[in-house]
């Protein structure tokens, strides 16, 4: 314990002495701060700030750091040392965090007023590298001491990991989300006001039902709810039809169905909306055809409920299909065979055995569709028109003519409570009711084919829909190559040239308008992906393999961010990280952070699934053979988790590229992302560029996915190579 | 390899283990002598695997002390205990070759790779798997995998070797061979070994001593012969070998012989007690024989089922003292189903347990 704690103590000291305490203008990696590490009040380290630049409270906050240092030097008794480390480092963490909040740029300067007499010039900006190094190493001194007390079975690695993930989730999920609450309760003068919150919450603009009685439109709350229920039901039915076809019929092109489930994952959320506009918009192909041949008047019906609904069905049916194919396959064939031997016909078997067994899975798919729909931002933004839903209303409350963060926060609370309720229902009600019929016993037998009527019904629903999906996607390709959709259908490369042209006149110059955001997107996504995978898989490891107090709460809180819509995360990040002590808005770090913590549940789920398939006795064998938990993770878990790690990397990379809802609040002129750039083009009516850019993004992601798949493939090849070599060498004994 | 006498000794002092509200072990105390093979035997859920995992350090005690080799290891995790374990599933690392698997314990404790691989090769030779080092575990048969698991545990020269149902995935014939090999390795290396199984025949075949567990505590411990001949309860009598249990009245006890009466027949049965008690008579199936009625005074009965197995005949009987299961190894005479018989008991081989 002592060695580990001393190491972290030294790192903390380095952080306090030789790293800039506050955020540095130009960025940490420019190292512009090195020369002024003691002398410049902007870039000085904590100790220098305290001694030379009147920020004496930093010295006070660092006293506990000296305390842990002295304890490590002079206390010999193991137990006493452990306890001292825990107590003193907690004090240190509390003091550093407290000074960050109390002595801010804008907050009342209690201490200064008391001691200096009147406000001074010494308020502080957001914390920087030094502060974070000190905070994290103090945290690890704490966890090391805690494990030294015999807690967590004395395993410093595990306790440290738990401590790290808990604090990361607290700082980057709970802390920002709590800002929404604060903001929603804040009155016009900045003081908390329940009345203000109540008047915002019960506002007629949110809850009006005018679309049902009389004319006019309903409030966004009702719109969101209605849309979500219909999308949940629609995607579940379509997904079930596809799942039944894939498992219970002799349908030949099953592989095509599987491909259709992957494509939407790499499609930015509003792209389907764009393609729908090309088909059904006022000058869309279908609209034109109907107008020419049947005299159907051109209308703007697409911009509203039906357009959004159609786009969401297209976007989320694959998710339902993925969920339901597991459910449908999970119904053990032997149950159906048992039913048939008991003289039930196919329809009776389906009606009384298979369907009831699938019911919890159906509920699950419905709730997933519900959550996805209600959190969806891209489609309503592109197609919503006057049909306003909560997620877009939040956006317009922030970026609209009159920024009203109080209203945005209130809407966010309503949205959050809807998704959270669905999430809780899914976990506690559906979760408990699921009939796991996958027993691990070899289950021979075949699934009963559907009875003909049901089969035809499935074909009739699913196949036209699949064809429709194909048409929609091909629109994305066609649309990017024509001059002006609906008016001038001549072939052109103009859109690609405008977006992605390169000039070689003097060196390579990236002259296209899209390059900037394209590179930013790739960079940020590829930085975020490994962190997401790391945090997600580490959490999964703790959840599956370790026992500790509060594990259920821990699991719940890590899964929670899955239920928080992107718009809510986005607004909470700008509310929380716009002011000291953590000032991140306008940086690329905030984009990376939002991706990491928004996509973390995906990594956690993938990790849990992969980890559950690794027999726990592998870890235990490694432990009894004398390996500690760190070595076990390094030499046994990680090599065996290879595919899961790659899957988590791919998925978080792709999600970072395609996400728009959270990002749109957090981009800045310097760090613009592809999706928000495209949304900007759509808002300007430049569909050609928007679609060309989307197509490029999709191709980029396909290349990355295929590249990563090749790496997995290589791994397998290597093993096969080894086998072949083996079989050539003669083996004597048998 | 120090000359320390306590090396390999395992001691439990009032160890309690709870999982939440479920008590897995109620105050267990036991001593395992260096060099012996002790089996933990019992029905599933009796706490035998928990006991093993507590020795390994894979579970933490709720209360009590555990020492290994005279050293208190209660708060050490598996990593820091000098024990190794053979798992029921073998737990071979699928991504490492057989050699890497066997050398794993050595390499993680910073043994140079060359030396570790040499030792691994010795370990493989010991279990008869020379030349298999380059294979992956998935390319071995079940029995071979099992031996790799043993080699991997043994090359570390642990103080205590733990085996968690090591044979449960092997078929019956292989099972007998492998358990002999395990026993030979254990004896030749003079290792202390703790073996968990639910199969009483396996336990009797390999053990110096058996600890039978039931409901989270020890029911009885002793050599296989002790347990078979002198069970201390109906549970042990029934669990170790087959037994017919018959309630009986104990008349008097004089110098280790109890006078009892069952089914109208008076018997003298050895006992360790000296005060009459509420007893059940333990009749092993081979300690009773069938005769035609009338010749000798026996317990009256009727054959309800007879099975000819070649080397023996198994009878199920309806008798005055209840349903009986009897095995006839002599095969002098067969009694068809329905015949009336008299049952004769071999007094010296009977035992009394508290009812």
Give the model's confidence band at B148: pLDDT under 50 very low, under 70 low, under 90 confident, else very high: very high
For B58, the closest of A154, A620, A731 (CB atoms) is: A620
Q: Tell me, what CATH number does B305's domain have?
A: 2.40.50.100
Sign of torsion over alpha carbons A617, A623, A627, A628 = positive
Say if A626 is an interface residue toward chain B (CB within 8 Å): yes
In a domain, B238, yes or no: no
Closest CA in chain A for residue B78: A624
B84 contacts in A (CB within 8 Å)?
624-625
Task: Compute the distance between CA of residue A384 and CA of residue A377 in angstroms, rounded to an integer.
Answer: 10
* Burial status of residue A2 (CB atoms within 10 A of its CB: 0-12, 13-18, 19 or more): middle
Q: Which has more pLDDT, A112 or A470?
A: A470
Closest CA in chain A for residue B91: A618
In a domain, B236, yes or no: no
* Number of helices (H), then strands (E), in chain A: 35, 2
A723 contacts in B (CB within 8 Å)?
136, 139
Pairing of strands B209-214, B37-41: parallel
**What is the distance, to the nearest Å, from the Cα of residue B337 to the centroid of all Cα atoms in its chain?**
36
- Which among A529, A482, A511, A496 is positioned nearest to A697, based on CA atoms? A496
Closest CA in chain B for residue A730: B131
Sign of torsion over alpha carbons A149, A152, A154, A158 = negative
Check residue A127 and report its DSSP letter.
Answer: B
Mutate to test the interface with A, among B54, B55, B62, B78 (most CBs of A within 10 A): B78
Same domain, B350 and B264: yes
Say if A623 is an interface residue toward chain B (CB within 8 Å): yes
Contact between chains at A625 and B105 (C-beta distance less than 8 A): yes
In a domain, A557, yes or no: no
- Which among A106, A358, A373 is positioned nearest to A247, based on CA atoms? A358
Check residue B125 and report its DSSP letter.
Answer: H
Give the model's confidence band at A719: pLDDT under 50 very low, under 70 low, under 90 confident, else very high: very low
Task: Compute the distance between CA of residue A54 and CA of residue A520 in angstroms, rounded to an integer.
Answer: 39
Domain boundary among A154, A170, A192: A154
Q: Which has more pLDDT, B274 or A89?
A: A89
- Which among A333, A339, A341 is positioned nearest to A353, based on CA atoms? A339
pLDDT of residue B122: 92
Token couple for A90: 């907690």
Same domain, B260 and B194: no
Give the model's confidence band at A668: pLDDT under 50 very low, under 70 low, under 90 confident, else very high: confident
Pairing of strands B192-197, B160-164: parallel
CB of A646 closer than 8 Å to CB of A711: yes
B61-68: average pLDDT: 93
CB of B15 closer than 8 Å to CB of B66: yes
Same domain, A237 and A379: yes
Same domain, A139 and A220: no
Same domain, A427 and A367: yes
Same domain, A226 and A367: yes
Domain boundary among B229, B260, B289: B229
Token couple for B258: 């109890």
In a domain, B4, yes or no: no
Provide the percentage of residues in chain B whose pLDDT is more than 70. Answer: 98
Closest CA in chain B for residue A636: B93
A722 contacts in B (CB within 8 Å)?
136
Token couple for A95: 């003091």
Same domain, B323 and B194: no
Q: Is the predicted pLDDT of residue A126 greater than 60, yes or no?
A: yes
Same domain, B211 and B259: no
Closest CA in chain B for residue A153: B77
For A624, the closest of B60, B75, B78 (CB atoms) is: B78
Same domain, B129 and B260: no
CB of B198 closer than 8 Å to CB of B43: yes
pLDDT in tens, B79-122: 889 999 999 888 888 888 999 999 999 988 888 999 999 999 99
Contact between chains at A731 and B94 (C-beta distance less than 8 A): no
**Residue recorded with tokens 């968990």:** B196
pLDDT of residue A234: 94
A593-608: average pLDDT: 84
A669-to-A114, A307, A523, A673 alpha-carbon distances in Å: 41, 31, 16, 10
- Peptide bond preceding A581 in cis form (omega within 30 of 0): yes
The number of domains in chain A is 3
Q: Tell me, what CATH number does B59's domain have?
A: 3.40.50.300
Q: Which has more pLDDT, A131 or B331?
A: A131
Closest CA in chain A for residue B153: A625
- Which among A156, A136, A57 is positioned nearest to A98, based on CA atoms? A57
Give the model's confidence band at B40: pLDDT under 50 very low, under 70 low, under 90 confident, else very high: very high
Task: Compute the distance between CA of residue B283 and CA of residue B267 in angstroms, rounded to an integer.
Answer: 12
The number of domains in chain B is 2
Write the CB contacts of B194 (distance below 8 Å, at least 6 apart in sequence): B10, B32, B37, B38, B39, B40, B52, B55, B160, B161, B162, B163
Q: Chain A 526-545, CB below 8 Å of chain B: which residues? A: none
Neighbours of B157 (CB within 10 A): 13
CB of B320 closer than 8 Å to CB of B312: no
A732 contacts in B (CB within 8 Å)?
130-131
In a domain, A148, yes or no: yes
**What is the distance, to the nearest Å, from the Cα of residue A352 to the centroid of all Cα atoms in its chain?**
39
Contact between chains at B108 and A620 (C-beta distance less than 8 A): no
Same domain, B67 and B209: yes
Same domain, A114 and A212: no
Contact between chains at B58 and A624 (C-beta distance less than 8 A): yes
pLDDT of residue A23: 83
Check residue A353 and report its DSSP letter.
Answer: I
Q: Which has more pLDDT, B165 or A151?
A: B165
pLDDT of residue A485: 73
A620 contacts in B (CB within 8 Å)?
56, 58, 78, 85, 87, 91
Residue A588 structural domain: 515-550+568-686
Strand partners, B283: B244
- In total, the C-beta contacts within 8 angstroms joining chain A to chain B are 89
Same domain, B194 and B333: no
- Which among A524, A611, A607, A605 is positioned nearest to A561, based on CA atoms? A605
In a domain, B196, yes or no: yes
Give the model's confidence band at A434: pLDDT under 50 very low, under 70 low, under 90 confident, else very high: low
A589-613: average pLDDT: 84
Write the CB contacts of A223 (distance below 8 Å, at least 6 apart in sequence): A217, A305, A387, A388, A389, A390
Q: Chain A 215-244, CB below 8 Å of chain B: which residues? A: none
Strand partners, A254: none
B131-156: average pLDDT: 90
In a domain, A558, yes or no: no
In a domain, A94, yes or no: yes
Contact between chains at A620 and B56 (C-beta distance less than 8 A): yes
Q: Is the predicted pLDDT of residue A318 greater than 90, yes or no?
A: no
Task: Compute the distance between CA of residue A461 and CA of residue A592 in angstroms, rounded to an integer.
Answer: 41
A281-309: average pLDDT: 83
CB of B335 closer than 8 Å to CB of B315: yes
pLDDT in tens, A379-408: 888 888 888 888 888 888 888 777 777 888
pLDDT in tens, A358-382: 887 888 888 888 988 988 888 888 8
CB of B69 closer than 8 Å to CB of B191: no
Domain boundary among B198, B229, B260: B229
pLDDT in tens, B91-101: 888 888 999 99
Q: Is the predicted pLDDT of residue A461 greater than 70, yes or no?
A: yes
Strand partners, A302: none
Token couple for A10: 């030294």
Angle at the Cα of A383 (from A219 to A458), degrees rounded to 5? 100
Q: Which has more pLDDT, B244 or A210?
A: B244
Sign of torsion over alpha carbons A411, A417, A422, A426 = positive
A632-653: average pLDDT: 84
CB of B345 closer than 8 Å to CB of B269: no
pLDDT in tens, B287-337: 998 888 876 778 889 999 999 888 899 999 999 888 999 999 888 888 999
- Which among A24, A56, A26 is positioned nearest to A40, based on CA atoms? A24
Q: Which alpha helices (H) appear in A149-253, and where do they start and end?
A: 156-169, 175-184, 194-201, 204-207, 220-248
- Which among A364, A365, A279 is positioned nearest to A318, based on CA atoms? A365
Mean pLDDT in chain A?
Answer: 80
Residue B326 structural domain: 244-354
A467-473: average pLDDT: 82
**Residue recorded with tokens 């570790």:** B116
Same domain, A372 and A233: yes
B120 contacts in A (CB within 8 Å)?
none
pLDDT in tens, A144-195: 988 888 777 778 888 899 999 999 988 998 888 888 888 787 766 666 777 7
Q: Is the predicted pLDDT of residue A107 greater than 50, yes or no?
A: no
In a domain, A164, yes or no: no
Mutate to test the interface with B, among A624, A634, A722 (most CBs of B within 10 A): A624
B68-79: average pLDDT: 89
In a domain, B198, yes or no: yes
Q: Which has more pLDDT, A45 or A249?
A: A45
Same domain, B155 and B223: yes
A229-234: average pLDDT: 93
pLDDT in tens, A12-28: 999 998 888 888 877 78
A371-to-A255, A388, A415, A420, A430 alpha-carbon distances in Å: 28, 17, 10, 9, 15
pLDDT of residue B227: 92
- Which among A273, A281, A701 is positioned nearest to A521, based on CA atoms? A701
Contact between chains at B79 and A626 (C-beta distance less than 8 A): yes
For A623, the closest of B58, B135, B153 (CB atoms) is: B58
Instruction: Report DSSP letters for A505-545, one per residue.
Output: TTS-B--STTHHHHHHHHHHHHHHHHHHHHHHHHHHHHHHH
A569-595: average pLDDT: 85
N- to C-terminal Cα distance for chain A?
Answer: 48
pLDDT of residue A712: 61
Same domain, A252 and A395: yes
Chain B residues within 8 A (CB-CB) of chain A? Answer: 56-58, 60, 75-81, 83-85, 87-89, 91-95, 104-105, 108-109, 128-132, 134-136, 139, 152-153, 156, 162
Contact between chains at A624 and B85 (C-beta distance less than 8 A): yes
- Which among A142, A132, A148 is positioned nearest to A68, based on CA atoms? A142
Task: Compute the distance between CA of residue A57 and CA of residue A335 in angstroms, rounded to an integer.
Answer: 70
Q: What 3-state class would DSSP assign to A179?
A: helix
Give the model's confidence band at B2: pLDDT under 50 very low, under 70 low, under 90 confident, else very high: very low
Give the model's confidence band at A448: pLDDT under 50 very low, under 70 low, under 90 confident, else very high: low
Give the model's confidence band at A446: pLDDT under 50 very low, under 70 low, under 90 confident, else very high: low
Task: Compute the distance between CA of residue A320 and CA of residue A260 in angstroms, rounded to an integer.
Answer: 12
Task: Compute the distance between CA of residue A465 and CA of residue B163 in angstroms, rounded to an integer.
Answer: 58
In a domain, A719, yes or no: no
Task: Compute the distance between CA of residue A1 and CA of residue A531 in angstroms, rounded to an integer.
Answer: 27
pLDDT of residue A435: 54
Domain boundary among B229, B262, B292: B229
Same domain, B52 and B195: yes
Same domain, B91 and B65: yes
CB of B39 closer than 8 Å to CB of B203: yes
In a domain, B332, yes or no: yes
Contact between chains at B162 and A729 (C-beta distance less than 8 A): no
Q: Tell me, what CATH number does A312's domain have?
A: 1.10.3720.10
Say if A26 is an interface residue toward chain B (CB within 8 Å): no
Task: Compute the distance between CA of residue A498 and CA of residue A507 in angstroms, rounded to an integer.
Answer: 19
In a domain, A150, yes or no: yes
pLDDT of residue B195: 93
How does A555-591 read in b/e, with b if 16+ C-beta sit within 10 Å?
bebbbbbbbbbbbbbbbbbbbbbebbbbbbbbbbbbb
Task: Compute the distance between CA of residue A11 and CA of residue A144 in angstroms, rounded to an integer.
Answer: 14
Instruction: Report DSSP letters for A232-266, one per residue.
Output: HHHHHHHHHHHHHHHHHS--S-HHHHHHHHHGGGG
Same domain, B129 and B255: no
Check residue A649 and report its DSSP letter.
Answer: H
Same domain, B300 and B223: no
For A154, the closest of B75, B108, B136 (CB atoms) is: B75
In a domain, B118, yes or no: yes
In a domain, B218, yes or no: yes
């Amino acid at each position: 314990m002592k060695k580990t704690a001393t190491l972290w103590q030294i790192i903390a000291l380095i952080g306090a002495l030789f790293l800039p305490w506050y955020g540095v203008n130009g960025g940490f990696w420019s190292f512009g701060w090195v020369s002024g590490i003691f002398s410049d009040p902007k870039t000085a380290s904590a100790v220098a700030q305290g001694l030379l630049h009147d920020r004496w409270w930093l010295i006070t906050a660092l006293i506990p750091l000296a305390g842990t240092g002295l304890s490590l030097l002079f206390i010999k008794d193991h137990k006493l040392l452990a306890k001292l480390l825990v107590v003193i480092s907690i004090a240190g963490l509390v003091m550093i965090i407290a000074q960050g909040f109390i002595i801010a740029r804008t907050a009342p300067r209690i201490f200064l007023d008391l001691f200096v007499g009147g406000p001074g010039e010494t308020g502080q900006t957001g914390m920087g590298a030094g502060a974070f190094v000190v905070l994290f190493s103090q945290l690890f001194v704490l966890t090391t001491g805690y494990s030294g007390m015999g807690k967590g079975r004395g395993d410093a690695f595990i306790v440290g990991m738990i401590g790290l993930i808990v604090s990361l989730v607290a700082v980057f999920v709970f802390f920002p989300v709590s800002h929404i609450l604060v903001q929603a309760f804040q009155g016009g003068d900045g003081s908390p006001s329940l009345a203000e919150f109540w008047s915002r919450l019960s506002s007629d603009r949110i809850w009006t039902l005018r679309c049902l009685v009389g004319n006019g439109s309903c409030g966004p709350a009702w719109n969101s709810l209605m849309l979500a229920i219909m999308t949940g039901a629609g995607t579940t039915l379509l997904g079930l039809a596809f799942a039944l076809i894939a498992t219970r019929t002799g349908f030949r092109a099953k592989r095509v169905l599987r491909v259709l489930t992957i494509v939407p994952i790499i499609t930015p959320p509003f792209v389907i909306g764009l393609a729908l506009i090309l088909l059904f918009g006022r000058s869309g192909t279908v609209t034109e055809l109907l107008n020419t041949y049947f005299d159907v008047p051109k209308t703007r019906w697409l911009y509203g409920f039906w357009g959004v609904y159609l786009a969401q069905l297209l976007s989320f049916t694959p998710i339902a299909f993925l969920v339901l194919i597991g459910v449908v396959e999970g119904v053990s064939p032997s149950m159906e065979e048992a039913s048939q031997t008991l003289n039930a016909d196919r329809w009776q078997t389906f009606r009384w055995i298979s369907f009831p067994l699938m019911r919890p899975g159906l509920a699950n798919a419905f709730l997933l569709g519900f959550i996805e729909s209600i959190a969806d931002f891209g489609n309503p933004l592109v197609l919503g028109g006057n049909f306003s839903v909560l997620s877009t209303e939040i956006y317009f409350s922030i970026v609209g003519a009159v920024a009203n963060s109080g209203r945005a926060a209130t809407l966010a609370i309503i949205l959050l409570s809807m998704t959270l309720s669905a999430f809780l229902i899914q976990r506690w009600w559906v979760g408990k009711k699921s009939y796991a019929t996958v027993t691990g016993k070899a289950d021979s037998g075949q699934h009963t084919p559907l009875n003909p009527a049901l089969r035809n019904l499935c074909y009739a629903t699913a196949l036209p829909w699949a064809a429709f999906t194909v048409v929609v996607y091909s629109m994305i390709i066609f649309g990017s190559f024509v001059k002006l959709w609906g008016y001038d259908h001549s072939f052109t490369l103009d859109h690609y040239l405008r977006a992605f042209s390169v000039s070689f006149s003097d060196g390579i110059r990236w002259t296209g308008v899209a390059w900037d955001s394209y590179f930013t997107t790739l960079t940020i996504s590829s930085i975020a992906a490994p962190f997401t995978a790391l945090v997600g898989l580490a959490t999964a490891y703790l959840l599956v393999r370790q026992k500790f107090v509060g594990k259920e709460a821990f699991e719940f809180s890590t899964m929670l961010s899955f239920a928080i819509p992107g718009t809510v995360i986005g607004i909470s990040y700008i509310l929380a990280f716009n002011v000291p002590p953590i000032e991140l808005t306008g940086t690329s770090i905030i984009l990376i952070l939002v991706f990491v913590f928004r996509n973390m549940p995906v990594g956690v789920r993938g990790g849990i699934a992969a980890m559950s398939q690794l027999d726990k006795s592998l870890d235990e064998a490694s432990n009894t053979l004398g390996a500690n938990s760190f070595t076990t993770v390094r030499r046994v878990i990680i090599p065996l988790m290879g595919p899961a790690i790659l899957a988590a990397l791919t998925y978080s990379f792709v999600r970072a590229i395609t996400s728009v809802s959270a990002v749109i609040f957090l981009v800045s002129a310097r760090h613009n992302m592809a999706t928000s750039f495209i949304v900007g083009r759509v808002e300007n009516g430049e569909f050609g560029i928007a679609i060309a850019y989307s197509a490029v993004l999709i191709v980029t992601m396909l290349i990355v996915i295929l590249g990563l798949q090749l790496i997995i493939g290589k791994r397998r090849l290597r093993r096969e190579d080894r086998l072949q070599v083996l079989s050539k060498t003669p083996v004597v004994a048998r | 390899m120090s000359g320390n006498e306590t090396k390999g000794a395992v001691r439990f002092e009032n160890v309690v283990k709870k999982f939440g509200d479920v008590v897995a072990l109620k105050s267990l105390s036991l001593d395992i002598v260096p060099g012996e093979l002790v089996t933990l035997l019992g029905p599933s859920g009796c706490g035998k695997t928990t006991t093993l995992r507590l020795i390994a350090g894979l579970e933490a005690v709720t209360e009590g002390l555990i020492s290994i080799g005279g050293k208190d290891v209660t708060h050490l995790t598996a990593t820091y205990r000098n024990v190794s374990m053979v798992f029921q599933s073998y737990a071979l690392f699928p991504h490492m070759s057989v050699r890497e698997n066997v050398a794993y314990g050595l390499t993680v404790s910073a043994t140079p790779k060359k030396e570790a691989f040499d030792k691994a090769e010795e370990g493989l030779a010991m279990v008869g798997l020379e030349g298999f080092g380059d294979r992956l575990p998935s390319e071995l048969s079940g029995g071979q995998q099992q031996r790799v698991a043993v080699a991997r545990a043994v090359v570390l020269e642990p103080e205590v070797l733990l085996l968690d149902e090591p044979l449960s995935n092997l078929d019956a014939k292989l099972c007998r061979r492998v358990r002999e090999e395990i026993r030979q390795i254990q004896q030749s290396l003079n290792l202390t070994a703790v073996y968990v199984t639910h199969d009483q025949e396996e336990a009797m075949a390999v053990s110096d001593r058996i600890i039978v567990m039931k409901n989270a505590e020890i029911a009885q411990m002793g050599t296989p012969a002790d347990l078979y001949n002198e069970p201390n309860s109906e549970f042990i009598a029934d669990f170790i070998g087959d037994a017919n249990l018959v309630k009986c009245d104990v008349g008097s006890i004089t110098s280790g012989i109890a006078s009892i009466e069952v089914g109208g027949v008076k018997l003298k049965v050895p006992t360790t007690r000296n005060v009459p008690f509420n007893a059940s008579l333990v009749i092993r199936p081979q300690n009773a024989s069938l005769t035609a009625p009338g010749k000798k005074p026996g317990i009256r009965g009727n054959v309800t089922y007879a099975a000819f197995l070649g080397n023996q005949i198994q009878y199920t009987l309806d008798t005055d003292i209840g349903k009986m299961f009897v095995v006839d190894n002599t095969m002098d005479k067969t009694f068809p189903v329905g015949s009336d018989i008299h049952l004769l008991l071999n007094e010296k081989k009977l035992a009394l347990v508290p009812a």
